[in-house]
A = this chain, B = another copy of it.
Amino acid sequence: MSKKISDSTIKRLTLYYYFLTTKKDNTDIVISSQELAQSIGVTDAQVRKDLTYFGSFGKRGTGYNIKHLCEKLSNILGVKKVIEVALVGVGNLGKALMSYRGFEEYGYKIKYIFDSDHQKIGKKIMGYTCFNTFAIPEVVKKNKINMAIMSVPKDSAQNVAEKLINSGVRAILNFAPCKIIHDSSKVKVINVDVASELKALSYYLLSNK
């Protein structure tokens, strides 16, 4: 079962899951791959393929039992467990992320926040005490945090990432517009580069003039 599953598959599975949770107490207790697919905006074959990486959850001729499928997806995605994350960089983006409901909904809890700005260190920001970035090793190690969100300027991104990784963090969501270079195969970094997403869009606009 330890085949390699792509990021895209996992992202779609979360979409399936969160769509199904909105339907759970509906009268129709089964859903076809086609209906699920249309709601999410993918093909039905894609839905079935994604699911079969993890098992056979449906009934031929009928479809998928929603409750049953939810449970399976919940297990696959580890929804039940609340995961504590550290957030580094309490600028505008960092604050937006702190107040972003989606994280809670998806089972995350921002537990510690860090910044290198002395105006912020030690102060309470949106209910959280802001730690010095230098305290990352101490705080992260002691509390066994293994997931972090980085909303720092790109010049300090690599540096902060190394601090996090050396302190035991194994998954980083990076908002700085740069690739994080690391050699451990046990560490996974996902980049969210908002501006370069936009750039891709405007290239599209340009090339369709």
Contact = CB atoms under 8 A, between A and B. Distances in A.
A179 B46 CA distance: 15
A123 interface: no
Contacts of A194: 97, 100, 102, 173, 192
A108 to B, nearest CB: 6
Interface in A87-128: 92-93, 95-97, 99-100, 102-103, 105-108
- Contact-residue size bin, chain A (C-beta under 8 Å from the other chain): 35 or more
Interface string A168-203: 001111000111110000101010111111111111
Contacts of A181: 41
Tally of this chain's copies: 2
B201 A40 contact: no
Contacts of A147: 198, 201-202, 205
Interface stretch (A10-18, A24-32, A58-66, A129-137): A10-18
A42 to B, nearest CB: 8
